[in-house]
Structure 1
Amino acid sequence: MTTTTQATHQISFARRGIAVAVLAFTAAATIGAAPAMAADAAYPSKPITMIVPYPPGGSNDVFARQIAKEIGDILKQPIIVDNRPGASGNTGTAFVTKAAPDGYTLVAVSSSMTTNAGVQPKMPFDPVKNLAPIAMFAKGPMVVAVNNDFPASNPTELVKAIKANPGKFNYATSGTGSVNHMATEYLRSMIPGFDIAHVPYKGQGPAVTDVIGNQVQMLVSSGPSILPMIRNGKLKAVGITSLKPSPIAPDLTPMATAVPGYEFDLWWGMLAPAGTPANIVNALNKAVNQALAKPEIKEQFLREGAIVTPITPAQFGDVIKTDVERWKKLAKERNIVAD
């Protein structure tokens, strides 16, 4: 074989080697990419954990379990509800902020997360930066209740009675910086001369007891926790904190009729660790909103004092951001710091 012929064969073999190498690399890349694509398309491919940062039995737990069952059926994977209470909901929520942003660890929170951010200077996480909004479950107003002997039966009479008797009346809350404390202080901030003193309690139960006994005259509370006392005649409702009349208590007048613009709605929803991919966020949002469209879910939530509220992740994020800013501003103006 001539030198020229040998050189030609060497070049030919080299080219074949390059072609084989390119094919091998392409195949490897394709094989390597396939699991990622499959996992992406197949979400969820294993059980999901939903953290409830409160004890069992409360509204957060009830709503989370209702939604978990529904979206588990929709997504064809079980949703495991795990209660991790502590630090007014901060313990369980902080745990989720440190989880992998893969859609398999979620948290069911309420609007108390944003009031916490307003009154706690050293929150273990940032509700806006460290969490990805998924979906809001529902919203619900609070009820303004007074002792039966209080000289008011509607919002206008309440404002008039308190302004006419500065410093005479007190209002109860379940603690400094609690949701009902912030709701009442927000009301006070909108009414010049609304002079009523704060009496914090360690929990809702003792606060309600003392309003019934007239040791304290007023309380702003969630509908489910206070409406039974109103219906059995132990307390008197004077108004509701939604901007408009609510199906939660259609016979109650909004406080906004006497205090224009006043609105304080509780809300419940689901979030994930920041950085969770958009396709997973959207898949979960779609599943939650599909569940909320069921008549039986609407009825169940309504019985618990909430109205289902299907919105987009971006809209939910706006609610959280607006609330955090509002409660930080109010806490600074009213000098409110959590115990």
Structure 2
Amino acid sequence: MHRPTAARLLCLALAATAPALAAAQEAYPSRPITIVVPYAAGGTSDGQVRMFQDALGKELGQPIVVDNRPGASGAIAAQLVARAKPDGYTLLYPNNGVLTTPLLNDKAGYDAFKDLRPVTLTSVVPMVLVVNKAVPADDAKSFFDWARKQPKGVMYASAGTASYGHLSTARLIQLSGIKAEHIPYKGEAASTLAARTGEVQMLVTTPSSAMLGQVQQGNLKLLGVGTKEPSSVVPGTPPLNRAVPGYEAQAWFGVMAPAGTPDAVVDRLNAAFRKIMADDGLKTRLLATGAVARTSSPAEFAQMMKTESDQLRDIVTQFNIKAE
């Protein structure tokens, strides 16, 4: 009887473990994927995920579960995903807030660059500049020329201290050289009302239907949009960078995974999102809410986040902005 050789024993061992190895390396995804939304159901982020939830599930061949985890300015959701297993089954659907929260709160509990991995952008919502109808300016250049001549400066509203509207306006003030006083309100509706009634002269905000309605009625003047090129969200509105070079302000939404998620998984997700976000029907539904579908490579998303984070840090420091 022949004694088994070492090579034969190795072959037998590999054959025995092959099924286990195959199971461990099964094609992604093989079970439902959870997308954690940092805000409550019914909000903008939640609405966007539910717009593409079914399409993404069909593209990936697995159900998509939406898990709303509001609180702590998005930190609760970010912490949950940052601590999740990096296997592609727990994802985060953040906006700009994932960058601002750690800048304003050293106890946020996560680092957006070390604990999370960008997958793709999904959409952007341009910020717009509106002014009260009594302001003697009909375009951005004439407004800033007028504002620079005001001895006491102008007053501007936001939906709250450290909100993206507040930070976007501070950036505009920084680049334009005007003097302005911040008046925070509780929410977008209240800040829009303040601009309409003349409590403040200017407002940088997202182009909500209510705000655009006030423009149509002549109560507000729409002077510019915070995109590099004209935006389909507000057709005919010139980019603010024509009057204030270098200015850009857009609320963005995207997908992030835990740090350490394999390249193959990130690439699979990125390809799926690129495909579904190119659908004309989804683009139309997003546009109706003021958003423009836009995807990116993980590297492009990471670079955009780094550039914006540096700008936000500068603004927070210069204007001494503190979280409420």
TM-score of the two chains, using structure 1 as the length reference: 0.90
Aligned equivalents of 1:191 and 1:178: distance in 2? Answer: 20
* 1:182-230 deviation digits (Å, cap 9, x = unpaired): 11100111122x0110011222222222222211221110112532332
- Quick one: distance in 1 between partners of 2:41 and 2:220? 27
- 2:100 maps to 115
Distance 2:19 2:258 in 1: 29
For residues 195 and 329 of structure 1, the distance between their equivalents in structure 2, rounded to whole angstroms, comes to 17
C-alpha separation in 1, matches of 2:213 and 2:67: 29
Q: Is the Cα–Cα contact under 8 Å of residues 67 and 288 in structure 1 kept in the other structure?
A: no
Q: Name the CA shift for 1:243/1:166 in 2 (closer, same or farther; >3 Å).
A: farther
- Where 1:77 maps in the other structure, the secondary structure is coil
Partner SS for 2:127: strand
SS at match of 1:16: coil
Task: Tell me the residue number matched to 2:51.
Answer: 66
What are the equivalent positions in structure 2 for 1:226-237 lying under 5 Å apart? 226-237=211-222
Q: Partner letter of residue 51 of structure 2? A: Q
SS of alignment partner, residue 189 of structure 1 = helix
Aligned equivalent of 1:51 = 36
Distance 2:176 2:107 in 1: 30
Q: Indicate which of 203, 224, 230 corresponds to 1:219.
A: 203
Alignment partner for residue 89 of structure 1, among 65, 70, 74?
74
Residues 1:190 and 2:175 aligned together: yes
How far off is 1:17 after superposition? 7.0
- Which residue of the other structure, out of 24, 42, 55, is the alignment partner of 1:36? 24
Deviation, 1:20, is: 5.9
Report the CA distance between 1:334 and its aligned residue.
2.1
- The answer to whether the aligner puts 1:210 opposite 2:201 as a matched pair is no
What are the ranges of 5 or more consecutive residues in structure 1 without an aligned counterpart? Answer: 1-11
Pairing 1:141-290 to 2, within 5 Å after superposition: 141-192=126-177, 194-224=178-208, 226-290=211-275
- For residues 230-280 of structure 1, the C-alpha deviation after alignment (integer angstroms, 9 at most, x for no partner) is 234332212111122111112212211111111112211111111111111
Asked if the contact 1:166/1:196 (under 8 Å) is kept, the reply is: no
Alpha carbons of structure 1 residues 168 and 19: separation in structure 2 relative to 1, 3 Å: closer
Deviation, 1:18, is 5.0
Among 21, 24, 27, the alignment partner of 2:15 is 27
Question: Structure 1 pair 250/63, CA: closer, same or farther in 2 (3 Å)?
Answer: same
Is the Cα contact below 8 Å between 1:55 and 1:83 reproduced in 2? Answer: yes
Task: Give 1:173 shift.
Answer: 0.8
CA distance in 2, matches of 1:243, 1:18: 67
Partner Cα separation in structure 1 for residue 181 and residue 293 of structure 2: 34
State the shift of 1:19 in Å.
6.1
| TM-score, normalisation: structure 2 | 0.94
CA distance in structure 2 between the aligned counterparts of 1:277 and 1:229, rounded to whole angstroms: 48
Match of 2:206, as an amino acid? S
- 2-side partners of 1:19 and 1:251: how far apart? 74
Moved over 6 A (4+): none
Percent sequence identity over aligned pairs: 36
3-state DSSP of counterpart to 1:223: coil
Structure with more of its chain in helix, by fraction: 1
C-alpha RMSD of the superposition:
1.8
The Cα shift of 1:48 comes to 0.9
Partner Cα distance (1:56, 1:73) in 2: 22
Deviation at 1:53, TM superposition (A): 0.5
Using a 3 Å threshold, how does the CA distance of structure 1 residues 19 and 113 change in structure 2: closer, same or farther? closer
Shift of 1:168: 4.4
Counterparts of 1:97-112 in structure 2 under 5 Å? 97-112=82-97
Structure number, greater radius of gyration: 1
